[in-house]
Amino acid sequence: MKQIFLGADLFDGERIIKDHALVLEDGLIKALVPFSERPHDSEIIDLAGGILSPGFIDIQVNGGGGTLFNEDPTLEGIAAIADAHRRFGTTALLPTVITDHQKIIDDALRATQSAREIRRDIAGIHVEGPFIDVVRKGAHPANYIRALTQADIDHFAEARSGVLLLTVAPNKVTADQITALTRAGIHVSLGHSDATDLEAKAAIDAGARAVTHLFNAMSQCEGRAPGLVGSALADPRVICGLIADGHHVAPTAIIAALAAKGAEGIALISDAMPSAAGGPVHFTLQSRLVRRQNKKLTLDDGTLAGADITMFDAVNYMLSLGIPLAYVLQMATRTPARLIGLEGQIGALRPGYPADIVHLGPDHRLLGVFYGGKRLD
């Protein structure tokens, strides 16, 4: 069945296109055509304004809708998280398991493999830890932090289904280990680390191409000690995940990062916890109470414990800083797709791509989400 979407501007992954129609067929994008050249043998959907964007891609989703992946590393847990976030425009994601007992991580890997067999919105998994630096552990439990071994590398290579994004501390793993991981098809991200800039650069030279939640839980950039932040901002090979919630990163730091990296070097992430996407005010993280106040999540000692946002919230926060709409949408779509190696499959309005689309109003309200061309209730 062919559909024609009319009346809205189109963001194709790089730029905003006006006076065009979006043609869909059998759940896929068939073409972007000038309005005057639109087909007339199809179902017409007049959107009456706003902008159509590819669905958002979230590479760091700990939970949502009341479910935490670490607490429910099952197919059902993944489904609950993905369904909760899809209502807010996220049409592809990596459920994220943080540092924990190896059984929890293995259960999460198996659940992701099962989910990928029946759900195309699950692009893979993000394993954040346990091969991190206890000095920069954040909310990760110290008792499960450990060294990476060759057996771990072999295990992840065998267990990988789709994308496997692994966060490691560059001062706690070797360059050879990072090279081995990347050769096994694993995407390496650097984070939770007190690394020097030289240690970070060695990891990037070895194949790491991402940084986990820039500015948070990592060595900062100082004039004579650039740290992991400095290396990430200086190296064009690296894409930085960014939590845009008004709590994790100050507006000036966000603007500075964009000046250094551009929209192609910053991927918005939610780092969402169970409270996001309609979840409860309070929840437990590995038996520790997490409280929400003014959409800020903290442990009892004040440590930030993830975020209370969806990707739609992140987009709106970035827009509130005056960042151009095309830049913001690129950071929520094409850039994260490129980070996880799926730029040729998702994250753009291009022929052959899934018709997973977000409709934003002129005031950037969320007017609708289309998955496979079908509007979600």
Whether residue 148 is predicted with pLDDT greater than 80 in this model: the reply is yes
Q: What is the pLDDT of residues 33-92, one digit of tens each?
A: 999 998 888 899 999 999 999 999 999 999 999 999 999 999 999 999 999 999 999 999
79: region left, alpha or beta (phi > 0 left; psi from -120 to 50 alpha): alpha
Q: What is the pLDDT of residues 296-343, one digit of tens each?
A: 999 999 999 999 999 999 999 999 999 999 999 999 999 999 999 999
Q: What is the pLDDT of residues 234-268, one digit of tens each?
A: 999 999 999 999 999 999 999 999 999 999 999 99
* pLDDT for the residue numbered 343: 97
* pLDDT for the residue numbered 199: 98
Whether residue 218 is predicted with pLDDT greater than 80 in this model: the reply is yes
The structure tokens listed for 126 are 């993000």
Closest listed residue to residue 71, CA positions, set 63, 61, 80, 79: 63
**Active site residue: 271, 308, 313, 356, which one?**
271
Q: Which residues pair with 144 in a beta bridge?
A: none
Q: What is the pLDDT of residues 275-307, one digit of tens each?
A: 999 999 999 999 999 999 999 999 999 999 999
Q: Which CATH architecture has domain 2-53+350-375?
A: Roll (2.30)
Average pLDDT of the chain, as a whole number: 97
CATH class for the domain made up of 56-339: alpha beta
Max CA pair span of the chain:
65
Say which DSSP state 225 is in.
B
Q: What is the pLDDT of residues 184-214, one digit of tens each?
A: 999 999 999 999 999 999 999 999 999 999 9
The structure tokens listed for 181 are 């991981």
* pLDDT for the residue numbered 187: 98
Our answer to whether residue 271 is catalytic in this structure is yes
Residue 274 backbone phi and psi in degrees, to 5: -55, -25
CB 92 within 8 A of CB 127: no
* pLDDT for the residue numbered 112: 98
CB 255 within 8 A of CB 328: no
- In single-letter form, the type of residue at position 141 comes to P
Residue ranges per domain, the chain?
2-53+350-375, 56-339
Residue 338: helix, strand or coil by DSSP?
A: helix
* pLDDT for the residue numbered 56: 99
Closest listed residue to residue 272, CA positions, set 314, 318, 221, 307: 307
Q: Which residues pair with 241 in a beta bridge?
A: 267
* pLDDT for the residue numbered 39: 87
Say which DSSP state 335 is in.
H
pTM of the model: 0.98
How many Cβ atoms are within 10 Å of 138's Cβ, its own excluded? 20
CB within 8 Å of 8: residues ≥ 6 apart: 47, 48, 49, 50, 51, 52, 359
Whether residue 1 is predicted with pLDDT greater than 90 in this model: the reply is no
* pLDDT for the residue numbered 42: 84
Integer Cα distance of 126 and 188 in angstroms: 10
* pLDDT for the residue numbered 377: 83
